[in-house]
Structure 1
Amino acid sequence: MAAVGECSSSVPLKSVSFSHVEYPAGDFTGHLLAIASLGPVFILVGFVTLIVFKRELHTISFLGGLLVNEGVNWLLKNIIQEPRPCAELHPSVYSKYAMPSSHSQFMWFFSVYSFLFLYFRMHQTNNARFLDLLWRHVLSLCLLTVAFLVSYSRIYLLYHTWSQVLYGGVAGSIMAVVWFVFTQEILTPLFPRIAAWPLSEFFLIRDTSLIPNILWFEYTVTRAEARNRQRKLGTKLQ
């Protein structure tokens, strides 16, 4: 818990224009961290967009894990019922309980699950080179950095204590490992059957779990189809 003096602010609090995340007015660092704390919102919007355009079962499962993780966070908060350190500074916060931090739990779930996906689910190809591994290391480092920044922003902006953020990170990491194993061992073998359902075929839902590098696969297939159509069009014009 924060000390009594720590909750006082000499400057008025200002919220980010498109959210209710508040930071001390004129505090540039606080402004940047307030934007960083919106990471879960950006990620959810990205997931919805990706699902609408890709309609891939593993992406849907990933989003399902994030939602289950949020449900577990809500349950833990209502069981522990530890209040926020400076609730009077942020009266607009809808939840009065703060243990564990939902932002921290969300971001560490996303980061740890993505880390496991990069190194255990995304299979290496026979022509893997140094750069193929380098981008995975760089991306993993970026994921961990973003998770840390979002977690730290909740402490800096006095929404959570260190312990609330720490336990949120631990809970999110454990949930990520559990959901990854559940997806790998239980859901993935069922994906081909689910993709064959009439409803899945109607909504163009697909299973790409057996394709080692989906980006390279889509690139090569699209390029080959474009060249094939170009040749057919050239033949018709002759």
Structure 2
Amino acid sequence: MDDRQEWRDFALTHVEYLSGDFIGKTLCLFSLLPQAMIVSIVTLVVFKRDLHTISFALGVAVCELLNIMLKHWIREERPARKRTSFGHYGMPSDHAQISWFMAGYLTLFLLVRVYLQYHTWWQVVCGGGVGLALAVVWFILVHYVFTPCFPQIVQWRVCELLLICDTTLIPCVMWFEYANIRQEARARQRKLHPSSKSQ
């Protein structure tokens, strides 16, 4: 790519693309997927309050903290063309690491951070490797160490106050919620309108 071309900021982000580069602008949008996924996870935690969802969210937080520590330990610069105000070090790629941790969008993120010159291929591969390794370790911890403790954890007073639940033994949480809400709504309807029982 020509150094003389003008780089433009994508609105509401710190991601840049070359002026007139449709692919670059499109990939800028895709580079926001980790943030959208994190917002989705936080929303699920707030509304579902399920220990598996909370554990996954904690894993994402651990992954991000590990990325920050690795960047400051390795101290590898970003590609020469891309010195940014939001992060001096590029190794490992936080986008690649979080994406691999969440097991999604691998191909897009490999293209996004390299194409836009925020990371080298090696930084993206390393970020992906760290994210994948942490995902495996975290999965083992959650399912073999934490999950057996969930029945005791939900008994804690703080969990009762925050309405935190354990859905480990429920095979289809959506159907369970639907059936229980439907049953409760019908029971309340009968209490409000006793004459509707005969209908």
TM-score (normalised: structure 2):
0.91
Provide the residue aligned with 1:209 in structure 2: 168
5 Å matches for 1:155-194? 155-194=114-153
Q: How does 1:62-211 map to 2 (within 5 A)?
A: 62-86=56-80, 88-92=81-85, 94-111=86-103, 143=104, 146-211=105-170
Asked whether the equivalents of residues 39 and 150 of structure 1 are also in contact (C-alpha less than 8 Å), the reply is no
1:90-111 Cα offsets, whole Å, 9 max, x none, are: 432x222212111000000011
Identity %, equivalent residues: 46
Q: Does 1:22 find its partner at 2:16?
A: yes
Q: Normalized per residue, which structure has more helix?
A: 1
Provide the alpha-carbon RMSD of the alignment: 1.8
Aligned length: 197
In structure 2, the partner of 1:50 is: 44
**Structure 1 stretches (4+) deviating beyond 4 angstroms?**
none
Alignment partners' CA distance in 2, 1:225 and 1:103? 43
Give the number of the structure with larger relative contact order, counting CA–CA contacts within 8 Å between residues 6 or more apart.
1
What is the CA–CA distance in structure 1 between the aligned matches of 2:159 and 2:100, rounded to whole Å?
31
TM-score, normalization by structure 1: 0.77
Q: Distance in 1 between matches of 2:123 and 2:84?
A: 19
Q: Secondary structure at the match of 1:177?
A: helix
How many angstroms apart in 2 are the aligned matches of 1:35 and 1:228? 47
Distance in 1 of aligned mates of 2:30 and 2:124: 15
SS in 2 for 1:34: helix
Paired residue type of 1:191? F
With 20-29 and 72-81 compared, the bigger mean Cα shift is at 72-81
Deviation digits for residues 110-163 of structure 1, max 9, x if unmatched?
11xxxxxxxxxxxxxxxxxxxxxxxxxxxxxxx3xx232123100000001111
**Can you give the 5+ residue segments of structure 1 that lack an aligned partner in the other structure?**
1-5, 112-142
Rounded to whole Å, the distance in 1 between the matches of 2:23 and 2:30 is 10
**Local SS of the residue matching 1:229:** helix
Gaps of 5+ in 2: none
Deviation at 1:219, TM superposition (A): 1.4
Whichever residue aligns with residue 18 of structure 1, its letter is L
For the 8 Å contact 1:69–1:175, the answer to whether it is kept is: yes
Residues 109 and 173 of structure 1 are in contact (CA less than 8 Å); yes or no, is this contact kept in structure 2? yes
Structure 2 residue aligned with 1:34: 28
2:194 is matched by which residue type in structure 1? T
Tell me by how many angstroms 1:237 deviates.
6.5
